[in-house]
Amino acid sequence: DAGITQSPRHKVTETGTPVTLRCHQTENHRYMYWYRQDPGHGLRLIHYSYGVKDTDKGEVSDGYSVSRSKTEDFLLTLESATSSQTSVYFCAISESVAANTEAFFGQGTRLTVV
């Protein structure tokens, strides 16, 4: 199994509080991604990174920010959590497009905003 660890695995937080989710990889892959999974919507890309300090927005980036100060860590921050951000969040990694390599996913973080 690819070395991807998400933390925490479960979290309950109150509306309006900031929340940070962490993704840690041991594969030295260049690309890292944050997705959210919701019933009826499938997996949607929030933000992704293509290198240290290089990030870009996905299709549902509003209310989220990311940072990548080291190759192995990709942080997702909900600046002021809202109930609509209750979801399961997945981190993924991949090596590169040119290498045509698989993407691997973490086990997910279940976030509940009350």
Partner 1 sequence: KQEVTQIPAALSVPEGENLVLNCSFTDSAIYNLQWFRQDPGKGLTSLLLIQSSQREQTSGRLNASLDKSSGRSTLYIAASQPGDSATYLCAVVGGGGNKLTFGTGTQLKVEL
Task: Kindly list the residues in this chain that would bind partner 1 in the complex (CB under 8 A).
Answer: 31, 33, 35, 40-45, 48, 50, 56, 58, 90, 92, 94, 96-97, 100-108
Nearer to partner 1, 11 or 44 (CB): 44
Nearer to partner 1, 43 or 75 (CB): 43
Nearer to partner 1, 16 or 97 (CB): 97
Q: Which two tokens stand for residue 47?
A: 């933000």
Residue 56 C-beta: closest distance to partner 1, Å: 6
Nearer to partner 1, 85 or 94 (CB): 94
Residue 97 C-beta: closest distance to partner 1, Å: 5
Helix/strand/coil for 15: coil
C-alpha triplet 24, 88, 46: angle, nearest 5°:
70
Beta bridge partners of 7: 22
CA distance 91 to 110: 12
Residue 17 C-beta: closest distance to partner 1, Å: 25
CA distance 64 to 103: 22
Helix/strand/coil for 84: helix
Residue 88 C-beta: closest distance to partner 1, Å: 9
Q: Which two tokens stand for residue 112?
A: 């509940």
